[in-house]
Structures are given as C-alpha cells and as structure tokens.
Structure 1
Amino acid sequence: MIDITETNFKDDDNEFAVLRAVIKKQIGFNCEEYKKAHLKRRLAVRVRANQSKSYKEYADLVLKNVDEMQKLKDCLTIHVTELFRNPEMYDAFSRIVIPELVKNKTISKNIKIWSAGSSDGEEAYSIAIMLREFLENKSGRYGISILGTDIDENILRKAETGTYKSEQLKKISKERLEKYFVKTDENSYQVINELRRQVTFKNHDLISGQKLSGFDIIFCRNVTIYFEQTLQERLYLDFYNALNDGGYFVMGKTETLNGPASKLFIPVNPGERIYMKKR
C-alpha cells in the first residue's frame, strides 16, 4: 500500500475509482473486481516511480504518456511462473487423474485442456510434457489440444515461441531437457515442435471475456487469489460450466474453492487442489 505519510500522497477513493476506469478503458485491463489492497500495491510501484501526488495526477499522466501506459500494463500483469512449478501437483495429477481420464476416453480420443492465466506458456508446456510422458508411444492416438489464455498480448507472443532461459527450467530434469527442448543459444532453450503444435495461445479476459466450454481439464492456478470473493465464486461457476462431465479443475495451493461451485465438485486431491466435476 502507498505510504501516505512518506510520500504526501492523496489517497482518495473517488480518484482511485477514476484511475481504475482509465485503466479499464485505455489498457483493457478489467480491475474493477480485483482486491483493492492488491491493486493499490501494484499501482504504488508506478506512482512512486513518477512521484505522483494523487491518483488523479497519475491518471492524467497515463492518459497523455503512451510509454507510461505500457509500463503500467506490464506492472499490473506481473507473471511469476516456471515450468513444473509446484512439481508435487504435477506428480499427483499424473498418478491420479491422467490414468482415469485416458481410461474413460473410449469413444472420443480427443483431450482438451485449458490453462487459464497461462502467462508465457510454462504451465501449458508442462502439461504437454506430462501427457507425453504418460502416453509415451500411444500419444499419436489422441488428439491433444491445450489452450493457454492471458490478457497480456506481449506475453502471449512470447509464449508462442516456447523459448525459455535456463533459470526458468531449474525444475526440469536433464532427461526432460534433452528430450523435450532444443538449445537455441548459450542460455536459452525452445520446446520441441511436436509439443508446441499441441498448444495454442489466445488473448482472453476471464472477467469480461466470452465463456469457453468443452474442456476435459482446466488449470487456473494462482490467479483468483487476487480477486474479490464474489468474482471468485462467479469464475468457479464459469469453470464448472466450461468442463465436460467428469472433467477436472486444478487451483493454486493458496486458493479456496468457495461459493456454490464448492458443492458441484468432488475433491480428488484436496492438498494439491485437484477437483472433479460431478457427473
């Protein structure tokens, strides 16, 4: 939160509401239902950088300075992720969920997965690797489609390349690195084409974007934690409706399945926040 005493900052609720409206209109970032404390912490970074004395002063700057508008967007859409982040979740999912999912694919061999809030694609590609390792030489029998969505177009363009720095691959074993990545320079690796073809990326706003559907699995981890509870509950219902019967929903470990949707899912592994849609 901005330290008013230290910065002589005018923390006015009306001006804050105006700035949120500017952000929504000019940047396309719908922050109306973000937790106020979280949003103010993010805004404080740019407010301090520009030594603005009020939300109005900063809003005026954003409206006339394209460079600052982009810096604000980058600040609001900070992406903290890595391949196989929380590896214990992937282990549990691979042991418990994938065998059941594949066993039930008796008629249609298509597997459709949504990585919501996919950032630069690390989760989506981790899922692709996890499926390939389980299916091995049978993977060609299945139509695997993984959709990664985010509101940041720049980060989506990066995701499409499937290229990562060595530090982003620190949880990747040497065997996986050699099997599923190609070294492109001294400090960068790219996901092999065969896996990249299974993954597509799309600009999509969870809050105000179109409703998606037809998925066997939805991953939305460490995203809803920033939203007010009313929005969380609405999104969980959206995910429920987007899943096929018996589909699986995976949340972040710090998130809680609340509201009406909590009665519509069966816990598969509560510790790893893995749930199944009731049939």
Structure 2
Amino acid sequence: MSGRGRDASDQTGPETDEGFQAILGHLEQTRGLDFTAYQRSSLMRRVARRMRVVGCSGYGDYLDHLQADSDEVRALFNTILINVTNFFRDADAWAFLRSEIIPMLLAERGPDDQIRVWSAGCASGEEAYSVAIALAEALGAEQFRRRVKIYATDVDEEALAQARQAVYTAKDVQELPADYVARYFDQTGGRYVFRDDLRRSVIFGRNDLVQDAPIARIDLLVCRNTLMYFTAEAQRNILRKLHFALVPRGVLFTGKAEMLLSHSRIFEPVDLRFRIFRRRAAGLSGTPSRRRALMSGPQPAVGRLDELRALAFASNPVAQVVLTVDDVVALVNRQAQQLFGLTDRDVGRPLRDLEISHRPVELRSYLEQVRGERRAVRAKGVDWQRGPGEVLVLELHISPLITPAGELAGISVLFHDITTSHRLLAELATARRQQENAHQELRSTTEERETANEELQSTVEELETTNEELQSTVEELVSTNGELQTRNDTLRDRTSALDDVNEFLESLLTSLRAGVVVVDRRMRVVAWNAGAEDLWGLPRAEAEGEHLLDLDIGLPVADLCPVVRPALADPAYYERITLDAVDCRGRTIALAVACGAMRNRRGEPAGAILVMETRDGAGALIP
C-alpha cells in the first residue's frame, strides 16, 4: 500500500487490490451485498471519499476502522449506494408518464384487471409513492385500492425501513404541488405521512437485482438511475431479468443516464428522451432478415403439424370446448372431458343437448353476446356443485375464433378452475378483515389510552390546583395563627396587667383594717375583704356571690337598704350612718358604715361600696 497522503483511488498493484477486496468482503459480510457487479472505479472513488473523511491513508487502516466502527460501515454503505431520491424526480419525464404512458396502460386493460408495478431501487420510498400518486390520480382512490399493487425493492434495509414508515419532512414534499400534499399526506407534528389507505397497496422488500430473482407479471417497471452503477455485463444480465419480469408490451421507465437500453434488442423505445421502453416479444426480436431466415428454415410435414396441434390442444391444463358457429361441439380437450364427464361421442352433438350448456352456467346468453359483439367475454366467480360436498369455483373465458378474412369460424370456451385461488383470496380477505379489526382495536386502544392520559393529565392539573389552593389556605392559616398568637400575646400581657391590678386591689383590700364589702347593682356581693371576714366571721368564699340582704351575720341589713339602694342609682351618692350590730363574737357594737356609689368608666353606677368600722361609747374607732 502507498504511504500517507496519496488518494486511495490512485493506488495500484496487487497489495492495493487485495486491500480493496478486503473492504468489499467486509461489506458483504456485514451488510449482505456483493459489490462484484458494480463498476470498480466508481466504488474506489466512493471508498476513497470516506477514507478522506475519517483520515485513513490506506485500505488496511480503513478496514481496521470499519471493523471497529459500525457507524462507519453504515456511512460507507450509504455513500456507495447513493440513496438520493425525491418525489417525481425529473418532472418532465414523470409528466410524460402521467399524461401518455399510464392512460395507454389503462386503455389496454379491462376495468377489473389488476395493475402490477415494480419500483426497483426505491431507496427511501419517494419513487414508489410517486407512482402511487400518479396511478391514484388516473384511477381514483377506490379503484387504486382495489386494482393496484406496487412492489418496491432495494438492497438497503435501512432505506427500506424508512420507506415503510412513509414519513417525510416539509423539505421532502416542498416540490410537490400543494393539492397533492393535501390529498395524499396527513400532517402530524411537522411531519408528512403518506395516506394509510393507499400505503397498503405499496409492498416493500429487499431484492438484489444482480443475485435475486425478479418479480413477475409486471405492467410498469420503474428502475431509474440504478443500472448505471453496474458493469456492462451486469447491466445486460439485469435487463434480461427486467424483460422477464414484464408482461408482454409492459413498460420500463429508466433514468436519463442509462444508455444501454437504447441499443437493446429486447426492448423497443417509446420515448428515448425520457428513457421509456416497452417489452419486445422474445424469440423473433432480431433483424427482418434474421426473422425471415428463421421462418424459412426446415418445416415439419403437414400431418405432423396436425398431430402436434391435436396433442397440444388435448394436453392443455385448462378445460376447453370449441363450438362451431351453429353451437355444435367441435373439440373437447382431455381436461374438459375429466371435468364435465364428456366423451369423444359428444363431439358433433349440439351444445343444447349437453348438460354443459346450462351447468355450471347458462352458456347460451354468453355465446349470443360473443357472436353479436365479436369480442371475448368473461364470467367470473361461477360456483358449481360438482358432487356431494364438492363445490368448484370457475371462471369462463368465451372468445370468438376469427378467420384471417374477418369471419366468425367458431367460439372457444375456456373453464379456469380458480377454486384454490378463490379460497386463498377468501382467506386473504378474512385475514385482512381480521387485520383491519385488530388495527381498529389497536387504534381504539390507543385512543382510549390517549383519553386516559388526557383524563390523568386533567386530574394532575386539578390536583396541582388543589395543592395550590391548600398551599394558599396553609399560608392563610399561618397568617391567622400569627395574628392569633399576637392577640394571645396581647391578651396575655393584658391578663398579666389585670392580674397585677387584681393583686394590687387584693393587697389594698387586705391591708384595710375596716370591713369592705362591694355589691353589684343587684346587691350581690362581689368583694369581701379580710376586715369583713374578721368583723362578721363569714369567709370570703361563702360571702361572694350571695345577696347582701340574705346574709345572716348580725348586720342589720334592713337598715342598710335605705343607704345602699340610692347608691345603686346615683353615681354621686355618698352617705355615712351608724348602726347597732352584733359582731362575730356576739358583742353589741356601734357600727359606722360609709356607703358610696361605684362607677364604671362612663361614670354610670355599677354597684355600691360599703366601708364598716366599729366605735366605742365615746364614738372613737376601735382598732
């Protein structure tokens, strides 16, 4: 291998070839694709490009890098395959396909015939979906779903996985007409998804054009800008496969860079400018002189030809009955004899005398239609009870037999036994219905889950709101608690002050030697000091709360009433009197009583205060 600094594509020699082959072998081992048929110079340029990107100077270094980094294997694989595509790439060619080729294909087929398309080298799917849009525009969505199958293949599994998703960005669809985007794509979160009902008609799968067998019975084959990467021999091999894949007169749509088809004898050009071709019939595709030489070769004897024709007709695997213009049985092949129980003796008999004229289907109306219109008709899905428990499904092809002069020579009736295919189609329809039901159930489950998620989200939001309300309530409670605490502190301070006042008053009353009695406006005792206890011998606890006039203590309460009652009504009242009384010791004493009104803050009378002292005979206070 050459030293660092030289481009790998310029390296030559056995060692270089061996290193390059080792890289291709590693790709085949890891990605399952043999690049032997690809143009070697093109492969080397693309490998060299990746080597420059990762900074490797030789194939050996790059192989080590590939073995250590799977992402680089993917990058190299994508670089070699060049998965570059977009919707309706080369717009003029696609416009010609839509305006000329597709109408021609549809005109050559019946209204119920299936249309099979193969998109070979579909990459990420834009080409296959472009064909789907073109056919849906020509047929309508309902006919498209019923009649069209598009097989899209590629060798790149990652590209196929992307194509199966049918999800594209706004940039991918920006070149499409706005009405195409609106009709054929559903927009979801900034992404564009190809319509699901049409997507089911597009089938993706892996196919290597070099190694794998082609898909058969194709009406339109799109293989654009793919052949040019292969060697000339590989291209010829692929073209033979594409020729086999197409039905007679099927259409091949290739890219502008693919020139080999212009010189191919198995395809005839429809429009060379847009690289559109039709399949030529195999066998007589050479020059006119070559065809004449083939036709002028030795011919078998006439008797031998008749024998061959008879053997070919008899061995036809499809039951066939040939009638004359007068509906007389002219020919019955072996399959028809076995199917309907006919024999050689039935040849020459009128059709109306045979059971086959009305079973499995009334043939005479179809025969009249063929005679009148001179075209083939078909009776599809005919159920025939052949025997006990045996029901066959047949498809009848009734075709006119026209002479070179244009005269009706007879009518051919083919009976295709489609029981197996009908059963398979029924099973397929059942499977599709089950799949659709499963899809609907899955969609319903998904919607229920989304609904549950929405409900859960609503519940979470409600809980968050409730939490915020609770937080606010807690804050209010904390604030209220602070206010209450402040009030409690204030009340405690006031209570303490009141206790101090009460203690002061209590000390004051206790310190007075005279008996002090305080009554409220109802003359109930509210204060009874120690002097009163000592004078009358009645404890404070028994005196307070009692009516003054109810106290039986030796005090002439009847004489006190005229003094106390005015004090309860007049806030300015004050009076002093002297009474005879008996103290707690049973002694008769002279009692000096001073009575004054007790006022509240507003100056209103709230009770009365009585101050009682004893005096001696001379009128002096007794200590």
**Residue 247 (structure 2) pairs with residue 244 (structure 1):** yes
Equivalent positions of 1:24-35 (< 5 A) are 24-35=28-39
| Contact 2:135-2:144 at 8 Å conserved across structures | no
**Residue 79 (structure 2) pairs with residue 75 (structure 1):** yes
TM-aligned CA deviation for residue 197 of structure 1: 1.1
Aligned pair in 2 of structure 1 residues 98, 59: CA closer, same or farther (>3 Å)?
A: same
Give the stretch that moved more between structures: 32-41 or 115-124.
32-41
Equivalent positions of 1:135-214 (< 5 A) are 135-136=139-140, 139=143, 142-186=146-190, 188-214=191-217
Residue-by-residue CA offset, 1:228-261 (whole Å, 9 max, x unaligned) = 11111111111001111110101101111349x8
SS at match of 2:37: coil
What is the match of residue 128 of structure 1?
132
- Between the aligned partners of 1:19 and 1:156, the Cα distance in structure 2 is 24
Aligned pair in 2 of structure 1 residues 140, 96: CA closer, same or farther (>3 Å)?
A: closer
- Between the aligned partners of 2:69 and 2:4, the Cα distance in structure 1 is 27
Aligned pair in 2 of structure 1 residues 68, 105: CA closer, same or farther (>3 Å)?
A: same
**Residue 230 (structure 2) pairs with residue 222 (structure 1):** no
Residue-by-residue CA offset, 1:156-209 (whole Å, 9 max, x unaligned) = 1111111111111122111111111111123x2111112211101001111112
| Contact 1:111-1:142 at 8 Å conserved across structures | no
- Between the aligned partners of 1:213 and 1:16, the Cα distance in structure 2 is 36
Structure 2 runs not aligned, ≥5 long:
282-623
- Between the aligned partners of 2:145 and 2:33, the Cα distance in structure 1 is 40
Which of 267, 277, 280 is residue 278 of structure 1 equivalent to? 280
TM-aligned CA deviation for residue 32 of structure 1: 1.0
TM-aligned CA deviation for residue 4 of structure 1: 7.8
The answer to which structure, 1 or 2, has the higher relative contact order (CA under 8 A, 6+ apart) is 1
- Between the aligned partners of 2:256 and 2:81, the Cα distance in structure 1 is 20
Residue-by-residue CA offset, 1:6-46 (whole Å, 9 max, x unaligned) = 44758212222222222222222221121122111211232
Give the letter for the 2:152 counterpart: G
- Between the aligned partners of 2:57 and 2:164, the Cα distance in structure 1 is 40
Equivalent positions of 1:41-56 (< 5 A) are 41-56=45-60
Residue-by-residue CA offset, 1:50-79 (whole Å, 9 max, x unaligned) = 322221222233234333323322332331
Give the stretch that moved more between structures: 141-150 or 241-250.
141-150
| Contact 2:3-2:58 at 8 Å conserved across structures | no
- Between the aligned partners of 2:222 and 2:19, the Cα distance in structure 1 is 36
Structure 1 runs not aligned, ≥5 long:
none
**Residue 87 (structure 2) pairs with residue 88 (structure 1):** no
- Between the aligned partners of 1:120 and 1:141, the Cα distance in structure 2 is 22
- Between the aligned partners of 1:265 and 1:8, the Cα distance in structure 2 is 41
Give the letter for the 2:48 counterpart: A
Aligned pair in 2 of structure 1 residues 141, 53: CA closer, same or farther (>3 Å)?
A: closer
Equivalent positions of 1:90-109 (< 5 A) are 90-106=94-110, 109=113
TM-score, normalized by length of structure 2? 0.42
**Residue 248 (structure 2) pairs with residue 265 (structure 1):** no
Higher radius of gyration, 1 or 2: 2
- Between the aligned partners of 1:160 and 1:66, the Cα distance in structure 2 is 23
Give the letter for the 1:158 counterpart: Q
- Between the aligned partners of 1:92 and 1:152, the Cα distance in structure 2 is 29
Give the letter for the 1:246 counterpart: R
TM-score, normalized by length of structure 1? 0.90
**Residue 257 (structure 2) pairs with residue 254 (structure 1):** yes
- Between the aligned partners of 2:240 and 2:81, the Cα distance in structure 1 is 24
Q: CA RMSD in A?
A: 2.3
Give the letter for the 2:238 counterpart: L
Aligned pair in 2 of structure 1 residues 107, 190: CA closer, same or farther (>3 Å)?
A: closer
TM-aligned CA deviation for residue 142 of structure 1: 4.5
